[in-house]
């Protein structure tokens, strides 16, 4: 108990520390907190994108455009010296050719720009580190429209703004748009990897997506309960036990202990389902004690120490997207 509590605390520190660190590192880069929040919905135009680029999007903390700005961590988006003979518009056409060759898919210049925001690690500009911010995740948290506006702004650097190419995207950009929408709804984690984490660590017990689990509650609608509630359920399962999934401890007359959920009580029989999914049928006459243990959940406490912080954030984002209807209400 003490050991796992320590592990959980450590894990929470790492999780919150990561958030703080990202927040702080970006604030440091901006040289203090500049409030440049855009009110209302942004227009998908170069002007709309310009406000995001030099404000909420914090692109200016790493990028400059020609002579404007002084940041050098990322490539200049304008024409600048011998290193950047071409501004971002025409440059993106060249990069798109490279991406097409590499992937075998046909990248347009918009596709390149959208990819550089949706999946920055896919193409790392020579001479730079793979340290471009994930701009649709906290603390920047751009919406899809804000990202489209920024694409319009970059398109217009030495090129023509083309609304149609942004609003009627190719299949490549469409897939990136979908990824951005899902990830920004889910607070920044990667739900695709979250599903893998879930299948490996949680699916034996829980039901979801029509796949029945053996011990835990159905999670098909868990997203509706919100981030805080889900976080608490994982970090401190025993703090608030889901009704119908209380832990019971049965001791028979020979002193043998069975711990699990009370999944059936009929006539003179009681079924206890253990954490491994085994159903143990006990005769009432053979039971010496049957008590609820309010301090312990059947859900393991040490899950956070079994998975990495990234996996944890990803599984959270996967669960946040589960907003369907439950198929089996309670196991009782």
Residues forming contacts to ligand HEC in the complex (CB under 6 A) are: 53, 57-59, 61-63, 73-75, 91, 95, 113, 116-117, 120, 123-125, 128-133, 135, 150, 154, 201-202, 204-206, 215-217, 222, 225, 230, 233-234, 237, 241-242, 245, 275, 297-300, 303, 315
CB within 8 A of 88, min separation 6: which ones? Answer: 77, 78, 113, 154, 155, 157, 158, 159
Question: Cα dist. 328→188, 190, 210, 214, 332 in Å?
Answer: 30, 27, 10, 12, 10
State which residue, 114 or 282, has the beta carbon closest to ligand HEC. Answer: 114
State which residue, 116 or 313, has the beta carbon closest to ligand HEC. Answer: 116
State which residue, 170 or 300, has the beta carbon closest to ligand HEC. Answer: 300
State which residue, 169 or 237, has the beta carbon closest to ligand HEC. Answer: 237
Least Å distance, CB 168 to ligand HEC, is 21
State which residue, 268 or 276, has the beta carbon closest to ligand HEC. Answer: 276
Question: Cα dist. 166→8, 49, 117, 310 in Å?
Answer: 45, 13, 14, 31
Least Å distance, CB 326 to ligand HEC, is 9
- Alpha helices by DSSP H, listed for 43-162, are 46-53, 88-103, 109-118, 144-155
Least Å distance, CB 139 to ligand HEC, is 11
Least Å distance, CB 254 to ligand HEC, is 26
Least Å distance, CB 56 to ligand HEC, is 8
């Amino acid at each position: 108990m003490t050991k796992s509590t320590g592990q959980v605390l450590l894990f929470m520190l790492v999780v919150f520390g990561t958030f703080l660190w990202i927040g702080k590192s970006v604030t440091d880069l901006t040289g203090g907190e500049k409030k440049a929040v855009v009110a209302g919905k942004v227009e998908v135009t170069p002007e709309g994108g310009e406000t995001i680029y030099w404000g909420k999007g914090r692109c200016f903390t790493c990028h400059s455009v020609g002579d404007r700005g002084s940041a050098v961590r990322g490539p200049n988006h304008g024409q600048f010296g011998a290193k950047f003979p071409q501004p971002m518009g025409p440059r993106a056409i060249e990069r798109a050719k490279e991406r097409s060759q590499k992937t075998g898919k046909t990248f347009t210049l918009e596709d390149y720009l959208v990819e550089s925001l949706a999946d920055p690690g896919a193409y790392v500009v020579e001479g730079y580190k793979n340290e471009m911010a994930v701009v649709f995740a906290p603390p920047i948290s751009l919406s899809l429209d804000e990202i489209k506006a920024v694409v319009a702004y970059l398109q217009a650097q030495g090129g023509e703004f083309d609304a149609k190419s942004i609003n009627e995207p190719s299949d490549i950009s469409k897939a990136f748009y979908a990824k951005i929408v899902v990830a920004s709804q889910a607070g920044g984690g990667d739900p695709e990897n979250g599903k893998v984490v879930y299948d490996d660590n949680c699916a034996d017990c829980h039901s979801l997506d029509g796949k029945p689990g053996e011990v835990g509650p159905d999670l098909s609608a868990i997203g509706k309960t919100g981030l805080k509630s889900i976080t608490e359920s994982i970090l401190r399962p025993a703090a608030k036990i889901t009704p119908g999934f209380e832990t019971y401890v049965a001791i028979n007359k020979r002193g043998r202990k069975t711990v699990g959920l009370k999944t059936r009580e009929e006539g003179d029989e009681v079924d206890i389902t253990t954490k491994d999914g085994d159903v143990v049928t006990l005769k009432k006459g053979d039971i010496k004690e049957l008590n609820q243990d309010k301090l312990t959940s059947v859900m393991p406490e040490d899950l956070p120490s079994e998975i990495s912080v990234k996996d944890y954030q990803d599984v959270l984002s996967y669960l946040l997207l589960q907003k369907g209807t439950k198929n089996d209400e309670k196991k009782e």
